[in-house]
A and B are shown apart, each in its own frame.
Chain A
Amino acid sequence: MSNEETVSGGLSRRAFLSSAGAAGVVSAIEGRIVMAQENGVKTASAVRTPEAGGGAGIVAVTLRVNGKEQKVRIDPRASLLDCLRESVGLTGTKKGCDHGQCGACTVHVNGRRVLSCLSLAMMHEGDEVTTIEGIGQPGNLHAVQAAFVAHDAYQCGYCTSGQIMSGVALLKEPCGPADADVKELMSGNICRCGAYPNIVAAIQQVRKGA
């Protein structure tokens, strides 16, 4: 199974979208950086005294993502979610509501599931961050990933990486045996398509098989 559909001439869908949108992406990022610097200068002259490690602009941060060190230069305001997607280039983690209400951005930090949208990337130096890319690959799926495939636990797939990251974390959390217990602990992951019964079935299959 391949997770990247071929569009044409051996170009994957992800690669095609990336190259087609490259010009727009670059200018959007540059625009944001410029805006941040303007704000920084304005406030600095008004009230602030620069401090070591503080101030506006760009900060160098070293993250450990899926066991690999990642040196990135980010806007201090960047959420862990935006940093993972835009700076590290791991786009498996999805942005849904960006306000901690949908769970699409769920990743693991030091083995615990958290919402990457409600966390500043620079607060995670020294932490072990795990994304959907880090728990399994095509041909070597995590048991929860395989169960999601077997149970058709998705339709559009947008919430799926968040659902799977929650499901994987749930395996190590205190959770009763019933479907209702799984539903309760999965309630922070919203599925707009309503694949909930299949999601619960997939997770329960892994729990019972484990």
Chain B
Amino acid sequence: MHTFEFVRANDPALAVAITSQAKTAQQGADMRFVAGGTTLLDLMKLNVEQPAKLVDVNGLPLDKIERTADGGLKIGATMRNADLAHHADVQRDYPVLSQAILQGASAQIRNMATTAGNLLQRTRCMFFRDTAMPCNKREPGSGCPAIGGGNRMLAILGTSEQCIASNPSDMNVAMAALEAVVHIRGAKGERDVAIGEFHVLPGNTPSRENVLEPGDLITHVTLPAAAKGSKSIYLKLRDRTSYEFALASAAVIVNVADGRFERVRIAMGGVGTKPWRMPEAEAALVGQAVGDEAVMRRAAEAGLKDARPQSENGFKVELAKRCLVYALKQATQNA
């Protein structure tokens, strides 16, 4: 691990002022915020991350959760994943978020990892994590060995000729289905970014993973008021029953009226280069009768129509479709 300066920030303004001097907030960043450390310390030990300065944000007053005026929820950036998943309001109003978090990582990691840290969780692509290998995300222009091999866990949606790395987070998938908003305090003031706009596609610049600029501090995430009467589920398919990343996962939130889908929100994990919202699948369901397997299958086909499998992950296309159909069945079982 390289040496670094270490600064404790006890005021968000100070955290922003210090990191505003950074060259980038993306891969290769010379300054990093540290909270739980579960991603950052891991990658620093691998020399994938080599920040010259660490700003400890654990002292900032950003670890709370509170209701918003419109009946939604405001979740602090440094709130621990375990606290978020076990919070009574989350379990009652946003069970899909609680389920997603509790199906990710281990109890120890959930006690450490934070809301903002999970939003910024890095890919598990083995080429990204190994500095002996080329990787366009880590070293722009060096190539992508995953295109052609070693891609079983990687993405089939949102990929580019430069990068096929999958976003590994479970929390992000639930956040995408819940239409969360990320609140950022930066050098030029505060701004809100919809979760769907927060992560960006790799395209020709896979080293850029989100909209964050130097000085940008995620302060909290808000969830809109839960849809009344909605049913939801997070279904995660993986090689092991626990402590494993998703091959395919689905966050599904549905409202049913008169035996028909009235409102549907779908996001999938394990398949996309970012948390993958599926508006085409949602549109294919609205107005259709629940319990009709053909309808759900058509929605899954619509959601996966742009899938581009790699040499070793072709199975994900069918797996993702079945995952979504099963999640929809589960969510509508008693609706």
Is B5's CB within 8 Å of the partner chain A? yes
B7 touches A113 (CB 8 A): no
In the complex the two chains form, is A79's CB within 8 Å of B41's CB? yes
Does B315 make an interface contact (CB < 8 A)? no
Chain B 1-41 per-residue mask, 1 if CB under 8 angstroms from chain A, else 0: 11111111000000000000000000000000010111001
Q: Is the CB of B42 within 8 A of A99?
A: yes
* Segment from A47-55, A141-149, A198-206 that makes contact with B: A47-55
**Stretch of A3-11, A22-30, A116-124, A129-137 lying at the B interface:** A116-124
Beyond the given pairs A51-B5, A103-B106, A187-B242, 18 more chain A to chain B contacts, judged by CB atoms under 8 angstroms and listed by A's residue number, are A48-B52, A53-B8, A54-B6, A77-B3, A77-B4, A99-B42, A103-B108, A113-B111, A119-B37, A119-B41, A120-B41, A123-B37, A166-B108, A174-B86, A186-B107, A188-B105, A188-B107, A189-B106
Q: Across the interface, which residues of B come within 8 angstroms of A51, CB to CB? A: 5, 7
A96 at the interface (CB under 8 A from B): no
Please give the distance in Å from B3's CB to the nearest CB on chain A.
Answer: 4
Give A122 to B4 CA distance when docked, in angstroms.
13
Complex: how many Å from CA A103 to CA B42? 14
Asked if A36 lies at the interface with its beta carbon under 8 angstroms from chain B, I say yes
- Say if the beta carbon of A171 comes within 8 Å of chain B: no
Which residues of B29-62 are within 8 A (CB) of A? 34, 36-38, 41-42, 45-46, 52-53, 56, 58
Are B107 and A43 closer than 8 Å at their CB atoms? no
A70 on interface, CB distance cutoff 8 Å: no
Contact A188 B109 (CB under 8 A): yes
Assess whether A90 is interfacial by the CB under 8 Å rule.
Answer: no
Residues of A within 8 A of B241 (CB): 183-184, 187
- Taking each of B5, B45, B105, which has the highest tally of chain A beta carbons within 10 Å of its own beta carbon? B5
B42 touches A76 (CB 8 A): no
Residue pairs across A and B with CB atoms within 8 Å: the count is 99
**What is the distance, in angstroms, from B129's C-beta to the closest C-beta of chain A?**
9
Q: Are B45 and A112 in contact (CB under 8 A)?
A: no
When the two chains form their complex, are residues A53 and B52 in contact, meaning their CB atoms are under 8 A apart?
A: no
| B108 x A39 contact (CB < 8 A) | no
Contact of A119 among B7, B45, B112 (CB under 8 A): B112
Closest to B58 in A: A123
Partner among A53, A56, A100, A103 whose Cβ is within 8 Å of the Cβ of B38:
A100
Q: Please report the C-alpha to C-alpha distance between residue A99 and residue B124 in the assembled complex, in whole angstroms.
A: 13
* Interfacial chain A residues near B37, Cβ < 8 Å: 118-120, 123
Residue count of chain B within 8 Å CB distance of chain A = 33
Closest chain A residue to B30, Cβ basis: A47
CA–CA, A183 and B243, complex, Å: 11
Could you tell me the distance between the alpha carbons of A120 and B112 in the complex, rounded to whole angstroms? 12
Pairwise interchain contact B109-A100, C-beta atoms closer than 8 A: yes
A113 and B6 within 8 A (CB): no
User: Which A residues are in CB contact (< 8 Å) with B4?
Assistant: 56, 76-77
Which of chain A's residues have a CB closer than 8 A to the CB of B34?
120, 123
Q: C-beta contact mask, A45-71 vs B, less than 8 Å → 1, else 0? A: 001100101111000000000000000
A98 within 8 A of B: yes
Counting CB contacts under 8 A, is A40 at the interface? Answer: yes
Q: Report B-chain residues with C-beta under 8 Å of the C-beta of A118.
A: 36-38, 41-42, 109, 112
Query: Which residues of the partner chain A approach B82 to less than 8 Å between Cβ atoms?
Result: 112
Which B residues are CB-close (under 8 A) to A186? 107
The residue that A169 contacts in the complex, of B1, B41, B107, B242, with Cβ under 8 A, is: B107
Contact indicator A76/B6 (Cβ below 8 Å): yes
| Contacting residues, chain A, for B2 (C-beta < 8 A) | 39, 43
Closest Cβ–Cβ distance, residue A39 to chain B (whole Å): 4
Beta-carbon nearest neighbor of A189 in chain B:
B106
**B107 lies within 8 A of A36 (CB):** no
- Which 4 pairs show the lowest CB-CB distances between chains A and B? A188-B106, A187-B242, A54-B5, A56-B3
Choice from A53, A55, A98, A169 contacting B45 with Cβ under 8 Å: A98
